[in-house]
Amino acid sequence: SRLRLPVVAAPMFLASGPELVIETCKAGVVGSFPALNQRSSEGLEAWLIEIQSALADFERSSGREAAPFAVNLIVHGSNPRLEADLALCVKYQVPIVITSLGAAAQVIDAVHSYGGLVFHDVINARHARKAAAAGVDGLIAVAAGAGGHAGSTSPFALVAEIRQFFDKTLLLAGAMSSGSDVAAAQMMGADLAYMGTRF
């Protein structure tokens, strides 16, 4: 695995940009950012080029593989840039696309067309079942204590419920900031910890 730690640096409003993504990926943690942190699709394209070239340089000079990076797309009618931003993710073959507020088959198909993965945010088992049925590669269980579009369910309950019907990659979000938190998430049945504030 290209990960040194089973951790994703979660996409944070305003805070996550190319610098953070590049450094987390170099350190062996999945780096991510919300597409809408860039004010335009043209700006997003510039960020994708910057991230990919910096990680390629790192791999050449260090002889080590960087962790993959992820772009967070809001899959909802309120996001007028979805189509343009998704086209850029396809053009630059973004390794992981994190979808929020909608698990849409056309987004999943587009990312799968080049071998990318789709991880989808869910706050309850009902949303998790819908996303699983849509064909996502991973679910992000956004439990109590998580930032963003946070859920209110205990991580113990949410992970256990999702694991009853989902055997692909499961990520857990919600007030985690230490190595022992990551270990606890894995003991509960999650594959990866999804951490924002720590970064």
Looking at residue 36, the DSSP 8-state letter turns out to be G
CA distance 41 to 81: 7
Residue with tokens 């951490």: 195
What string of pLDDT tens digits covers the 199 residues of the chain? 689 999 999 999 999 999 999 999 999 999 999 999 999 999 999 999 999 999 999 999 999 999 999 999 999 989 999 999 999 999 999 999 999 988 889 999 999 999 999 999 999 999 999 999 999 999 999 998 887 767 789 999 999 999 999 999 999 999 899 999 999 999 999 999 999 989 9
Encoded tokens for 120: 């989808």
Q: Are 66 and 27 in contact (CB under 8 A)?
A: no
Per-residue pLDDT, 1: 63
146-186 pLDDT, tens digit each: 877 677 899 999 999 999 999 999 999 998 999 999 999 99
| Residue 74, H or E segment | strand 69-74
Looking at residue 4, the DSSP 8-state letter turns out to be S
| DSSP strand pairing (138-142 vs 69-74) | unpaired
Number of other CB atoms surrounding residue 177 within 10 Å: 13
Encoded tokens for 121: 């945010």
CA distance 182 to 164: 21
Give 107's contacts (C-beta < 8 A, 6+ positions apart). 73, 75, 82, 86, 97, 99, 118
Number of other CB atoms surrounding residue 153 within 10 Å: 19
Number of other CB atoms surrounding residue 106 within 10 Å: 11
